[in-house]
Structure 1
C-alpha cells in the first residue's frame, strides 16, 4: 500500500473460512450507493451472530474492506463487490482498514445512538420522578400548615 494515507497500524489482514451461512457479515457502499460521504469504499454493516466473522472476532461493524483475496475494492458498484464476495471461495483473505474511535464521518452502528437515546430518556424519567416526589412533599407540607 505504498503511498496510502492509511496508517499501517489500522490495516489488518484477516483470513476467514466460509461457513454454512457464508462469511457471516453484510456489506454496504460502492460507487452507486456511498455509505460515507465522498468515499466509494465497501464497509461492514453487520456482523452476523455465530457466523465466521463473529467467531473470528477481528472484523467489526464499520470496518472498511480494502481488498478481498488481493483484489482491491476500489470504484466498484455495490453489486460488483457482492459478486466478488460470493465467488471468493471457501478460504477468504480480507485486507481491512479498522474503524478508529476518532472517525467523525465514518459509518457507525446504531448501538451508540440507542444508548444515547436510552440515557436521555432515563434522565428525563428520573427528573420527572424527582419533580413528582418534590411536589408531593410540598403539597403535604401545605396541608399541615393550614
Structure 2
C-alpha cells in the first residue's frame, strides 16, 4: 500500500464514528440495561469510556464512546476457549453494532465467533470469570431475559 492510500485509511479509521444505539428510550431496553448491570455483566462489558485528550486533535479528544467492553481478554470458560497455549480465553469483542441495524438486518453474531444462534443462547455459553453473571441471567424470568436481549440488540 502506498503512502497516499495509507493516509486515507488512517484518516477513515480516525474519523469512523461508533454506531448509534437504537431504541434507547424504550421501556424494555431500559429494563434490560438495568438487568445487565444487576447480573454483573458490566464488570467486563464496561458500558462507556471517554477517549484520551490528544494534543492538537480536539475533535478526537474527550469523546464519550459506548463500546460495551473493557477490551481485555478474559477466562470465558471451555465453551468459549480460543485454544491458545498460554491458557488465555476468548477476548471480549465490543458489543456495539451487534444487534439488528435500522433496516432490521442482523449486524453480527452473538458472540463474535458465532457460538450461540441468538443473544440469549450466546449468554449461556459464558463461563469462567463470567459464570456468576451467566448464572444470574439464566435464573432470570423470561420477560426480564427478553428485556436483556432487547438491550443487547440496541447496542
TM-score by length of 1: 0.22
Larger strand proportion of the pair: 1
Larger radius of gyration: 1
Greater RCO structure (CA 8 Å; 6+ sep) = 2
Larger helix proportion of the pair: 2
